[in-house]
Amino acid sequence: MKRLVTIFSLLIFLSITISGIAFSNNITIAIKEGMKTLNIKKSDPNLSVLTNVSYVKLNGKTTEKYVDLIQEITGCSIGKGNLLFFHRPTSYPLKIVLFRKDTKDSVVITYKGNDQDIKMVKINIDGEKATIPKYWKKLEASLGRSDAFSIVTILNAWEKGAPYDFLKCCEFHNHLCPGVTSGYFIVSYILKKYPLKKGEKYIFIACPPWCKDDAIQILLDLTPGKRSLFVKQLSSIQKKDLPEGIAGILVKWNNKEKKGKGVVFQFNRKKAYEEIGGVKIRDFKPKGGKSNPLFWTTRIKVDWALMPYLNKPEMFISTIKEFNVTYDKLIKLTLAGVNPYNVIGLTSKH
Ligand SMILES: [Zn+2]
């Protein structure tokens, strides 16, 4: 009898263990199969991985354990800078993208938590080919519009040697677009021209907001929740009164002395997008919007064109105005319903 119980409990233990193994085994098999498809070995310097694991949940469970699994099989790691992440909501399917930079081939694995339903797509994601509308359509059809944009832009930025802090901005924003690059420029410009002195902190008024503000959050740790980043939209009438490309207001604030210095920035879109990027600004908003490939290919073209200038922010960012900030002015700048450019006298009407 005792022997029977032992065997019985051993069987239960085995079946639990086996189902546990089977669970991660299918993803293991998929990743190994993907590497075979790409004809690449573990730790090959051409290999990188982009994934949303640790952001998404599977069957109600968080997915951080897959970080180790991916690392183990591919040899890619966070420390080597070739295991990259992209932000997605928790309800999103799990995605693991294997990419080899010498051929630009990729294998995209999609897993929704059902072992019988693991999808694998092999596709070439060359960043130059992605600027051709016809090829962009193919990428969209195979990967879905939003995943195609995330995968193509982040992995090709890695291939082109983007610095890791830049890739962190892309991770949070979930893709690379010229707006993120402009945010990277603004932060580099701030750190060069307006470094903090003892007792000071930054406050940023993101007005009007665009993709840049996600880079500002990541690189300066300024967030709405900590009331160090205030996001304010402008109406088209309000925008008309202001210089083109007006990007926001930085306050260097000394809380002990209750005073600070304010700076207004401008981003030179014409130079970045038309002169360097080689596109027409109007093509950022083409007829048909996002369903027109031009919407995406214009952004991707400018992404690559701006990459060699990441450490030359002053080519694109300038200071429009500097001013002193009192406690009362700081409060006014941040309040709802107040146009901050009226507060500092840059505009007066709306
Ligand atoms: Zn964007």
Query: For 260-312, what is each residue's pLDDT tens digit?
Result: 999 999 999 999 999 999 999 999 999 999 999 999 999 999 999 999 999 99
Averaged pLDDT of the chain:
93
Higher pLDDT, 100 or 117: 100
Please give the distance, rounded to the nearest whole angstrom, from the Cα atom of residue 211 to the centre of ligand 1: 5
Helix spans in 194-222 (H): 212-220
| pLDDT at residue 11, as a whole number | 41
Mean pLDDT (whole number) for 201-219: 98
Q: Please check whether residue 120 is in contact with residue 285, taking contact to mean a CB–CB distance below 8 angstroms.
A: no
> What is the DSSP pairing of strand 47-51 with strand 83-85?
parallel
Please give the distance, rounded to the nearest whole angstrom, from the Cα atom of residue 213 to the centre of ligand 1: 10
Q: Please check whether residue 305 is in contact with residue 131, taking contact to mean a CB–CB distance below 8 angstroms.
A: no
| Whether the predicted pLDDT of 200 surpasses 50 | yes
Please give the distance, rounded to the nearest whole angstrom, from the Cα atom of residue 175 to the centre of ligand 1: 6
Please give the distance, rounded to the nearest whole angstrom, from the Cα atom of residue 27 to the centre of ligand 1: 30
Q: How far apart are CA 87 and CA 131, in angstroms?
A: 23
| pLDDT at residue 92, as a whole number | 97
Nearest C-alpha neighbor of 73 from the set 113, 33, 106:
33
Q: How far apart are CA 312 and CA 89, in angstroms?
A: 34
**3-class DSSP assignment, residue 207:** coil
Residues above pLDDT 90, as percent of the chain = 90
**3-class DSSP assignment, residue 92:** coil
Q: H/E element holding 169? A: helix 164-173
Nearest C-alpha neighbor of 205 from the set 305, 342, 97:
342
Please give the distance, rounded to the nearest whole angstrom, from the Cα atom of residue 63 to the centre of ligand 1: 25
Joined together, the tokens standing for residue 200 give: 């000071």
Q: How far apart are CA 134 and CA 331, in angstroms?
A: 51
Please give the distance, rounded to the nearest whole angstrom, from the Cα atom of residue 255 to the centre of ligand 1: 33
Please give the distance, rounded to the nearest whole angstrom, from the Cα atom of residue 54 to the centre of ligand 1: 22
Q: How far apart are CA 23 and CA 33, in angstroms?
A: 16
| pLDDT at residue 320, as a whole number | 97
| pLDDT at residue 8, as a whole number | 42
| pLDDT at residue 24, as a whole number | 60
Higher pLDDT, 62 or 21: 62
> Could you tell me where in the chain the CATH 3.30.1330 domains are found?
178-343
Q: In the CATH scheme, what is the code of domain 178-343?
A: 3.30.1330
Q: Please check whether residue 279 is in contact with residue 286, taking contact to mean a CB–CB distance below 8 angstroms.
A: no
Q: How far apart are CA 112 and CA 293, in angstroms?
A: 28
Mean pLDDT (whole number) for 309-335: 98
Does this model's pTM top 0.85? My answer is yes
Q: What is the pLDDT of residues 82-101, one digit of tens each?
A: 999 999 999 999 999 999 99
Q: How confident is the model at residue 349 (pLDDT cuts 50, 70, 90)?
A: confident
| Whether the predicted pLDDT of 14 surpasses 80 | no
Quickly tell me which residue has 């969209």 as its tokens.
Answer: 140
